[in-house]
Structure 1
Amino acid sequence: MSVTQVPGACPLDCPDGCSWQVTVRDGEAVALRGTPDHPYTRGTLCVKVNQFLEHTRAPDRLLHPLRRVGRKGEGRFERISWDSALEEVARRLSETIERHGGEAIWPYQGTGTLGFLQGLQGRAGSRLWNVLGASRHDMTICSIAGLAGLRYTLGTSTGIDPESLEYSRLILLWGSNPLTTHHHLWKVIQRARRDGAHVVVVDPVRSRTAAQADEHLAPLPGTDAALALGLLNVVLAEGAEDRAYLENHTVGWEAFRERVLEFGPARTARETGLAEEEIVRLGRRIARTRPTAVRVSQGIQRHAGGGTALRTLACLPAVTGDWQRPGGGLLYSTDGYFGGNREALHRDDLLDRPVRTLSMTRLAEGLLEVDDPPVEALVVYGANPVASSPDQNRIRRGLAREDLFTVVMDHFPTDTADYADIVLPATMQPEHLDVHDGYGHLYVTWNEPAVAPPGECLSTTETFRRLARAMDLKEPALYAGDEELAGELLDSRHPSLAGITVDALRERGWARLSYPDPKEFAPYADGFPTPSGKLEFVSETARADGHDALAGYVPAAEPGDGELARAYPFVLISVANHFFLNTVFGNRPALRRRAGGPSVVLHPKDAAAAGITAGDRVLIGNVRGEFEAAAVVDEVVRPGVAMTAKGHWPKLTGGHGPNATVEERDADMGGGAVFHDNRVRITPLPPRGDDSSED
C-alpha cells in the first residue's frame, strides 16, 4: 500500500488562498487537510472546503463532452467524443472569424479558480484568444471599483500585510465578515485582541463577525464614504490629525480638510442612518488609538459610489498617520505583492491589433445590444453568469439566441451550462497542476496534481492546447506545457520572488514572498507609487479620468428618499453564504441542507408594516425581475435593509435568484457592478397549495 501527502492549494475566490495537503492511498485521494506548518493556514480549512474531495466525486459531475439536443436552457444533451466536440468548436469559431473577425468571440472567464495556469490570475487561455483576435474580457464582477478608487489615492490597490493586524490596537472591519469569508484573518485578529486590540465592525447587518466584535455600527448601504468623512471630522475636532505626516507624505490636505469639515456628526448621521453618539464615540476612539487598521471587503464597493468609498477610506489612516506604522493602514487586497511574470503567461504581444473590451457584468448588453460586430461565439469557463451576474432575465434571453454558439467548460451542469451548445468537462484542483497566490496574504503556493482526472475531464490548459491544434494554429506558445508555464511565471526578477524557484516551491508546497516580518512591515512608510510619490487626497489622475479630483462621497443611485424609495422601500443586499462560495457548492446536498433554502431577512418593524411573519413565502422584486424566498424576521438587519444570501443555483431553488432584480449598471469607477444599490418591494405570497391567489 502506497500513501503520500501531495501539496496543493484551494483554488476558490477567497482571500485566504489556503495551502492544503491531499492524502493519496494507492492512487485515490482519501483525505484533505490544511497544511500544518503553514503560518497562515495553520492546518485548518473552512466548512465549505473541508468537503472538497467529496465534491470532486459528486454524482452530477460532468465527465464527458456533451452536445445540446434540446432547446437552449432545457439542459438536454447527448454524449460525444472529444474529437467531435473540438472539431465542432474549432469549425464554429473559424466560421465566426470569417464572418465578423475575432472580436465576435467573447471568452467569458470567471473566478471559479484563481490559479495562474488554470484560472483567472493568469488569464488562462489568453494566448489563444490573442492569436484569434477575440474580444478582451473585462473582469468587473468582484472588486474592480474599489481597486480603481484605491489607485487614485495610493497609486496602488495593494494594502498592508494582513498578518500585521496582530499588532494593531484598533481594527475596523468595514463591510468585512471574516468568520464567513476568510476565517484565518479572524485568528490574527484574535491574537491582537489578546493584546488589547478593540474590534469594530461597520456593516449594515449584524454578521457572524459583528456579533463577536467589541462594537458594531450599521450604516445604510452605500453611505460608507460619508461615515469615513464624519469620523475624520471628529478626529479633527479632537485635534488628533498627524500634522507632520500630512505635511510630508500627502498631497491636497487643505482641500480634503475642507471636505471633511462639511461632514459634521449631524449631517453624517442623516446620511448614514446612525446616531450622532455612535459616530462621535468611534471617531474619538480612532483619534486616540495607534495603530489603527482598516480591513475592507468587496461588498461596500458594489454600489454607485463604490470606487469613491475605497478612495476615501484610504485617506483615514493618512489623517491619523497610521500608514507609517506596522499594523496601521488599510487592507483591501494583497494581490500586488506577488511579482510573478504574468506578462509571460498572457502573451499580449501575440495580439496583432487592439481589440474591444467587453464587461463581464454587462453580459446581457453584450449579447443583446452589441452589433459591431455582434457576439456570435461565447466561451464560458470558471463562471456561472446566469446565477452570478446582474440582470438575470436579460442574460437568459441573450443566451437563448439560436445564432449564438456557446461553449461551457465546467465541473457540473450549472444554470449557464444548460444554455450551451457544447459542454466540456474540466478537471478539479486535485487533478491538475497550478500555482496560486492569495489576495489576503503574502504567500505563494504550489498545487501538484494528486490523482488522475475522472472520466474524460481535461484541464483548462490542455483543453486550449487541443483546441489550438484542432484549429491548426501554428504559434508555438499555444502548446507550452503546464510545467513550462509555471517556470515562465516564476522566472521573474521581482524581489518578492527572491529564492523562490519551481523546484523549491514544489518541494515545500508554499513560500512566503520576500518581504519583512509583519511586525516590522509598513509598506508605505516612506511614500506611495502615485505620480507625486505621496498619498493623494487630490488626484490629477482622477480628474483626467473624469472624476472629482478630491476624495469624497458619491451617494446611492437608488436613494432612500423620493418616489423610487416609496415604491421600493427596501435596499436588498446579497451577502456571502456561509456554506457556498459564490455558486460553488450550490449543488452539494449536504451544504445545501446546512444553508437552507433562499431566504430574506427583514427587521421586525419592517416585517410588521408589510404584514409579513417569520416563515412566510414572500416575493422580492422590482421592474427588472423577482424571486421568491422565505421570510426571516430578525434585528440582525437595520430597518429599510433586506438581506439575502448569494450562491443558490436558480434551477434548484425556483428558477430565479436575487440577481434577477439587479440592474446592469456600472459603479462610479472601473465598471464595477452595483449588486447592493438595488431597491425592491417585498410582499407576502399565499401558502403553497393555496389557490386563492388573485387572477
Structure 2
Amino acid sequence: MSEAAAPTPAAARPAVDTHCPYCALQCGMALRPAAGSGSGSGSGSGGSSGGAVPVEVVERPAFPVNRGALCGKGANAAALLAPGARLTVPLVRPRRGAPLEPATWDEALDRVAAGLSRTAEAHGRDAVGVFGGGGLTNEKAYLLGKFARVVLRTATVDYNGRFCMSSAAAAQNRAFGLDRGLPFPLEDIPRTGCLVLVGGNPAETMPPFVRYLRELRENGGRLVVVDPRRTRTAGLADLHLAPRPGTDLALALGLLHLVVAEGRTDEAFVAERTTGWPEARAAAMAHWPELVESVTGVPVPQLRETVRLFCDAEASMVLTARGPEQQSKGTDTVSAWINLCLATGRAGRPHSGYGCLTGQGNGQGGREHGQKADQLPGYRRLDDPAARAHVAAVWGVDPESLPGPGRSAYELLDSLGRDVRALLVAGSNPVVSAPHAAHVAERLAALDLLAVSDVVLSETAALADVVLPVAQWAEETGTMTTLEGRVVLRRRAVDPPPGVRSDLEVLHGLAARLGHGEGFPVEPEKAFDELRRASAGGPADYAGIGYGRIAAEDGVFWPCPSADHPGTPRLFLDRFATPDGRARFAAVQHRPAAEEPDAEYPLRLTTGRVLAQYQSGAQTRRVAALAAAAPGPFVELHPRLAERLGIGEGAPVAVVSRRGRAVAPARLTDAIRPDTVFMPFHWPGAGRANTVTNPALDPVSRMPEFKVCAVRLEPAGG
C-alpha cells in the first residue's frame, strides 16, 4: 500500500470569498479550511469553547468597502461554526413547564404546523404571527414574508429591523420618496468637506468604517460628532456636541435657524428642487439659539461653529444613527436633519447629502422584501393595489387573498397571548432586544405556541415550545444588502453539522405541511430569482441583479432594473423619487421625550453597543475572545454624579425606571454628561438594559424610544 499523501497546508487550500455575519458594512472576508481540518474540522480561529472550528478567517483586500480590514467580531466570526457552540438538533417541550427535549425534524415541524393551523382555526388567521430578523438574507426575508401572507394569510408579521432604522426610513420616504440607508457609496464620504455624524459611534459598532472618517480628515474635511458621550468616534472629531439625550430635534432646528438668520440658505436649490420650505423655515425660526442651548445643553458658540463648518465647505453630509432615530419623535428628528441638508443645497449633489448608518447586517434588504408589516417585495406598499397585483401575480395568488398591513414589532409583541396566540420567530431575540423586555418575556410565555428558528439557544429560544436549529452564514449561500444599497453574495464555505437545516428548508417543510408544496424553494438562487421578479418595477428593483453579476462586480447597487443597467451607486443627482421629482421639507417642531426626568427619576438613561459585542449578544457572547473582551454589562456615569450618590468604581448599581431595574457594576468616566447614564444592551439577566427602556412609539415609524428614559440610580449592595 502506498504511503498516504501529506495533508495540504491550510494556507495552500482554496479560500471562499464571503462576507462578515455581523453589521451592515458586510465587510469582505475569505474562509479557508483550518489547519488539520481534513474532512471539515480543525482548530481554526476564534477561541470558542464549542470544539473544533472548520475554517479560519483570512483577509479579502480586493473588496472595496473594508479592503481587508476586519474588527474583532469579524476576525472571530468562525468560532460559532464549531458544532459544540450552537444548536444541532431540534428541541421540543413535551408539555408546559417541562424542559426542552431532542426531537426529530418531522416531530418538530409537525408540531409547529399543527399548532399554527389549530390557532388559525380557533382564533382567526391574524392570531398567528411571524417575527423576523434584520440578519436574515434577502432570500430568507423574502420567503418569510411570502410564507406569512400566502400560507398563513396573516397580517401579523414584522421584524426586529423596526428597532433599527425605521425612523430614518420614514423620514427619507417623506423627504425623498425613497429610503436607502446611504444614497451614495461609502467612497464619497472622504470627498465631502464636512460630515456631521449624529448619534453614531462607528469606532465601536463598525470599526472598518473609521477609515473613511480618517481619510476625510486627511483630505482636509471636518468632522462634527453629536453624542451625549465622548465616545471613541467623538474623540476623532474636530467638534463634539454633547446634547442631552432626547433633544436632537431641537438641536437640528436650532442649526437651521442659524442657517436662515446668517443668510446661508441655498435659495436657488430650494426653489428648483424642493417644496414646503416656507412652512419648514417658519418652524425652525421658533428655535432661536439661546432657547436651543437651554433645551440641549449645547452652547451657542458651538451651534454657530457647526453651521460655519457645514456651510463653508463646498460639499457637506449628515449621517444619523440610532441616537436620534430610536426616539418617540425619531422620524421628525431625522426630518429636521434632512431639512438642514435641503436648505443648504446639501442633497442631490455630488459628495453631499443625508444618509443613515444602518445597523443590522441586512437591515436594509430585510425590510425591502416583505417581512415588514406594511411592505411587499421591492419596497412596494402593501396598501397599494397595483403593488398587490404585481406581487400576487408572481406568487400565483389572488391579490384579494393578501392580508393588509399589520402591527409594528413592539405592538405585535405586546399583543402576544391575547390577540396573537401563536408565533414563529426567525433569527431574533426579543427577550433581550425589545424595550420593556421583562414584559415582552411575559407575553412570549403566555403564547399557546412559540416556535423559534435560530443558530443558538438564545434567551427567546429557551422559552419556546419548539426550537429549530438552522444553518448560519458560512454554511449557506445568500445575498445581503449593505448600508450603501450594495447587494452582496455570501457563499457557502462549509457544510452545516448533521441535523441542521437551512431556514429555506424549514419554510419549505412548514409550507408543505400546511398545503403549499410549491413556491418555497430550498435553493437560495431560485428564491433570489423569484425575488427579482417580485421586485421588478418597484422602488427597490433587483431585476437586473443575478448571483453571477454580484460575484463579478463585488456587489451591485439597487435599483438595477435590467441586466444591462449599471446599478445606481448615487441616487437623486437628477431628481428625487417623489412624483414631481422635488424633495419635500417637513415642518417639524421640537417636543420633549415621552418620559422626562422628575424628582423620582431625575436622570436620563441612554443605551448602545460596545466594541466586542453585537446586538442581543446571542452569538458574540458565545465566542470566548469576545466574551473575554466584554464580559458583562456596566453602568457608565460621571464621577460627580457618582460622588453625590456615594457610588464607587466597580460597585454594583441599580438603574431603576418605571418599568423595572437593571443591576451592573459602575464605570466612572468624565466622557458622559453628569445628568446622563449609559448602559450597553447586549446581556440578559439582572444587567439587561432593556428591562428599563421605554416602549413609547414614534407615531410614524412605530420605533420605540430606546435612547432616552427617566431613571434613578441606587446602590445595589455587595
Q: Same fold (TM over 0.5)?
A: yes
Distance (Å, rounded) in 2 between the aligned partners of 1:525 and 1:503: 28
Q: Is the 1:625–1:661 contact (alpha carbons within 8 Å) kept by the matching residues of 2?
A: yes
| Aligned: 1:268 with 2:260 | no
SS at match of 1:606: helix
Match of 2:591 among 551, 554, 576: 554
Structure-2 change in CA distance of 1:684 and 1:300 (3 Å) = same
Query: How many angstroms does 1:245 deviate by?
Result: 1.0
Q: Which deviations, in whole Å up to 9, do the C-alpha atoms of 1:260-284 show, x marking residues without a partner?
A: 2222210110111111221122222
Match of 1:206 among 214, 227, 230: 230
Query: How many angstroms does 1:360 deviate by?
Result: 1.5
Distance (Å, rounded) in 1 between the aligned partners of 2:557 and 2:275: 33
2:584 match:
536
Structure-2 change in CA distance of 1:474 and 1:229 (3 Å) = closer
In the superposition, the TM-score normalised over structure 2's length comes to: 0.85
1:571 match:
604
Match of 2:75 among 42, 50, 67: 50
Structure-2 change in CA distance of 1:356 and 1:493 (3 Å) = closer
SS at match of 1:124: helix
Q: What is the identity, as a one-letter code, of the residue corresponding to 1:505? A: I
Q: Is the 1:65–1:423 contact (alpha carbons within 8 Å) kept by the matching residues of 2?
A: yes
Q: Which deviations, in whole Å up to 9, do the C-alpha atoms of 1:484-541 show, x marking residues without a partner?
A: 11223345767976874333334676445689xx9x9763243322344222225xxx
Q: After the TM superposition, which of the residue ranges 498-507 and 333-342 deviates more from structure 2?
A: 333-342
SS at match of 2:138: coil
Q: Which has the higher contact order (CA 8 A, sep 6+)?
A: 1
Aligned pairs (5 A) from 1:240-319: 240-319=264-343
1:382 match:
427
Query: How many angstroms does 1:27 deviate by?
Result: 4.7
Q: Which deviations, in whole Å up to 9, do the C-alpha atoms of 1:539-577 show, x marking residues without a partner?
A: xxxxxxxxxxx23323211124xxxx2211111111112
Q: Is the 1:136–1:355 contact (alpha carbons within 8 Å) kept by the matching residues of 2?
A: no
Q: What is the identity, as a one-letter code, of the residue corresponding to 1:524? A: F
Distance (Å, rounded) in 2 between the aligned partners of 1:173 and 1:44: 22
Q: Which deviations, in whole Å up to 9, do the C-alpha atoms of 1:101-135 show, x marking residues without a partner?
A: 32221111122x241123x4x36353355222133
In the superposition, the TM-score normalised over structure 1's length comes to: 0.88
Aligned pairs (5 A) from 1:4-83: 4-12=14-22, 14-24=23-33, 26-28=38-40, 29-57=54-82, 59-68=84-93, 76-83=99-106
Query: How many angstroms does 1:336 deviate by?
Result: 8.2
Distance (Å, rounded) in 1 between the aligned partners of 2:149 and 2:544: 33
Q: Kindly report the root-mean-square deviation, in angstroms, between the aligned alpha carbons of the 2 structures.
A: 2.9
Aligned pairs (5 A) from 1:302-451: 302-332=326-356, 335=364, 342=378, 350=397, 352-355=401-404, 357-368=406-417, 370=418, 374-401=419-446, 404-439=448-483, 441-451=484-494
Q: What is the identity, as a one-letter code, of the residue corresponding to 1:621? A: V
Match of 1:670 among 681, 701, 705: 701
1:488 match:
530
Q: Is the 1:127–1:348 contact (alpha carbons within 8 Å) kept by the matching residues of 2?
A: no
1:132 match:
152
Structure-2 change in CA distance of 1:522 and 1:43 (3 Å) = closer
Distance (Å, rounded) in 1 between the aligned partners of 2:709 and 2:651: 22
Question: How many residues are matched?
Answer: 654
Q: Is the 1:304–1:677 contact (alpha carbons within 8 Å) kept by the matching residues of 2?
A: no
SS at match of 1:31: strand
Match of 1:85 among 105, 108, 111: 108
Query: How many angstroms does 1:189 deviate by?
Result: 2.2
2:167 match:
145
Structure-2 change in CA distance of 1:575 and 1:58 (3 Å) = farther
Where do 5+ consecutive residues of structure 2 fail to align? 1-6, 41-53, 359-363, 370-376, 381-389, 561-565
Distance (Å, rounded) in 1 between the aligned partners of 2:602 and 2:653: 15
Where do 5+ consecutive residues of structure 1 fail to align? 539-549, 688-695
Match of 1:110 among 126, 133, 137: 133
Q: After the TM superposition, which of the residue ranges 233-242 and 448-457 deviates more from structure 2?
A: 233-242
| Aligned: 1:660 with 2:691 | yes
| Aligned: 1:590 with 2:633 | no
Query: How many angstroms does 1:418 deviate by?
Result: 1.4
Distance (Å, rounded) in 2 between the aligned partners of 1:407 and 1:500: 33
1:192 match:
216
Q: Which deviations, in whole Å up to 9, do the C-alpha atoms of 1:443-480 show, x marking residues without a partner?
A: 22112211111131111000111122233x14521346
Structure-2 change in CA distance of 1:136 and 1:363 (3 Å) = closer
Q: What is the identity, as a one-letter code, of the residue corresponding to 1:418? A: A
Q: What is the identity, as a one-letter code, of the residue corresponding to 2:208? A: H
Distance (Å, rounded) in 2 between the aligned partners of 1:310 and 1:61: 39
Q: Which deviations, in whole Å up to 9, do the C-alpha atoms of 1:331-383 show, x marking residues without a partner?
A: 11684899997489996764714256132223542115x4xxx3221111111
Q: Is the 1:128–1:468 contact (alpha carbons within 8 Å) kept by the matching residues of 2?
A: no
SS at match of 1:586: helix
Query: How many angstroms does 1:578 deviate by?
Result: 1.2
Identity %: 28
Q: What is the identity, as a one-letter code, of the residue corresponding to 1:21? A: A
Q: Is the 1:327–1:522 contact (alpha carbons within 8 Å) kept by the matching residues of 2?
A: no
Q: What is the identity, as a one-letter code, of the residue corresponding to 1:586? A: R
Q: What is the identity, as a one-letter code, of the residue corresponding to 1:406? A: L
Q: Which deviations, in whole Å up to 9, do the C-alpha atoms of 1:407-441 show, x marking residues without a partner?
A: 111111111111111111011111112111212x2
Q: Which deviations, in whole Å up to 9, do the C-alpha atoms of 1:664-694 show, x marking residues without a partner?
A: 321232111111231111111221xxxxxxx
Q: Is the 1:265–1:279 contact (alpha carbons within 8 Å) kept by the matching residues of 2?
A: yes
SS at match of 2:629: helix
1:616 match:
651
